[in-house]
Chain A
Amino acid sequence: MTPRITLGLLLLLAPASLLLALVSGSIDIDLWALLSHSAEPLAQTVVFELRLPRALAAFAVGGMLALAGALMQVLLRNPLADPYILGISGGAAVAALLSLLAGLSGLLLAGNAFIGALASMLLVFGLAHGRGTWTATRLILTGVIVAAGWGALIGLILALAPERGLHGMLFWLMGDLSHTPPPLWGLLACGLGLLLCLPLARDLNVLARGELAASALGVAVPRLRLLLYFIASLLTAGAVTIAGSIGFVGLVIPHLLRLLGLHDHRHLLPGCVLAGGSLLMLADTLARTVVAPQQLPVGVITALLGVPLFLYLLNRRGIRL
């Protein structure tokens, strides 16, 4: 299968997943009636005001996470890197949990999570930059340590929080799409992120071979690293703000596509948006239908699917660290 055919199939997967998300759920939908505007008003409302925005938000979040994951993996030259490895989700989570503790919700909660993510991004950047040296190893170590610090704070908040608030906190931490803001912003951020990355895609191909090799092939490595760090971090911050920290999409999707033959980042990056978006739409559809009427945090589904899939890939390919 050539990369173009793979991309073409992914382009079909996205609308197919959207359609599935629209028709699945406790209320049966007659698709033809819906399209010919002859469906009942209740069905119209459910599809266009509940399921469609949620599915689109899922697409945007999945796309952003997979894209950010692919960028982080090249930036850190580490196949096990994911969008959260540098502590961005941890910073967002601490801010979000504190907001939940203070009884905030909606836009205030999302805004604080975004601020927490940005604060963590700048903190890691400042600490890793140190005295001017900025190697991938130094960055990843700084990020992992800061993330561990956030993890401790999260544990502390959970331990001290009143019991009635724990459910909401747990959902936020696992990643959840049931309280998402309007999807337009997410879709715009996802599209903008992809547009910013595409002109850098061939540089990424070279950077994946190492920083020295990239410099020797004409890449201005320090500037590219800076761009990658900020684009990947902002994408992650956006995704986490919309839906909490949904795991495994950012780690697994880039590897899955590489195994399908998309090595060239000019194919891989758009592929990540399409595949990450589609798979998160499917996972979210499962999350709200599997044990309906109860809803599961979508992060549980992505992890349940992601863990065995990743272990399988790891054993099949022997990814080297």
Chain B
Amino acid sequence: MSTPLLTACGLTVEIGGKQVCSDLNLDIHAGQCWALLGTNGIGKTTLLHTLAGLRTPTAGQILLNGLAIDTLPRRQVARQMGLLLQEEGDAFPGTVLETALSGRHPHLGRWQWESAADIALAEQALAQVGLAGLETRQINTLSGGERRRLSVATLLTQDPRLFLLDEPTNHLDPHQQITLLEQLTSQVQEETRGLLMILHDVNLASRFCDHALLLFGEGESLYGPLSRVLRAKNIERLYSHPVIELDGPRGPIYLPQ
């Protein structure tokens, strides 16, 4: 098998004296979609940022395409891995197109300006998330959902091989949630890309992902192919809440009781 896009070797992550995960060993290969699930405050975002190389783990190592991520220049990391943050605060004005184009930053030299091809890429990404025609709008006039989709468009413009997404469906209505996740996961199927996303909806995870990583707290975790991991008893343990399993058109549907 080819080199995994991302590898966690013996990864232990702690925040505020709490263990998020301990001795985590997982590979994200091209073509895989991972869901990262867990209750509020369990450390999903902390783990995601650690995997992105933005936080130093307590123990263990993260490899990006087989190379230790902390030895790589940030620019090189950003050309291969893109991160969608949970929230973005915009302190300064800017247009939708300018914001999307910032995704090209790691690909451009110090004195290089965005080319027509870069602009075409950004416009295509905006069209993919349904923001075509809003290129000259000010970002502070966008709704929460539109701003969220702009962040995704920026990520698509960045054009990385590995997507790390922190609650990509935040602020989105059900239709937009499905369209966006279809858009993102189709990237993974068509091309040689991989994806790991934090979700709060187990049914979205089971519909769009093929692997899952569950964080139970106290450093305990369960990860692997979806069919093995995403079971009613694991979900009940994950959220400390009983669930009902129903037969749906695409497999089981889980409802909280």
Contact = CB atoms under 8 A, between A and B. Distances in A.
Interface of A: 73-74, 77-79, 199, 202-203, 205-206, 208-210, 212-213, 215-221, 258-259, 263-264, 266, 317, 320
Contacts of B85: 210, 212-213, 216
Interface residues of B, number: 33
A212 B49 contact: yes
Contacts of B78: 216-218
A266 B112 CA distance: 11
Contacts of B98: 205, 263-264
Nearest to A266: B113
A131 B94 CA distance: 35
B149 to A, nearest CB: 16
B91 interface: yes
A77 B90 CA distance: 9
Contacts of A202: 105, 108, 110
A205 B102 contact: yes
B165 to A, nearest CB: 12
A216 B102 contact: no
Contacts of B110: 199, 202
B53 to A, nearest CB: 8
Interface of B: 49, 52, 54, 73-79, 82-83, 85, 88-95, 98-99, 102-103, 105-106, 108, 110-111, 113, 140, 158
B168 to A, nearest CB: 14
Given A217-B103, A217-B105, A209 B74 contact: no
B92 A218 contact: no
A263 B106 contact: no
A213 to B, nearest CB: 6
Looking at chain B's contact residues, the main secondary structure is mixed
Contacts of B113: 266
Summarize A's interface: helix, strand, loop or mixed: helix
A208 B98 CA distance: 12
B102 A218 contact: no
A206 B102 contact: yes
A251 to B, nearest CB: 14
Contacts of B75: 218-220
A171 to B, nearest CB: 34
A212 B50 CA distance: 12
Contacts of A206: 102, 105
A75 B162 CA distance: 29
A258 B92 contact: yes
A258 B139 CA distance: 13
**Which one of B52, B93, B94, B98 has the highest number of Cβ atoms from chain A below 10 Å of its Cβ?**
B93
Contacts of A78: 91
A79 B92 CA distance: 7
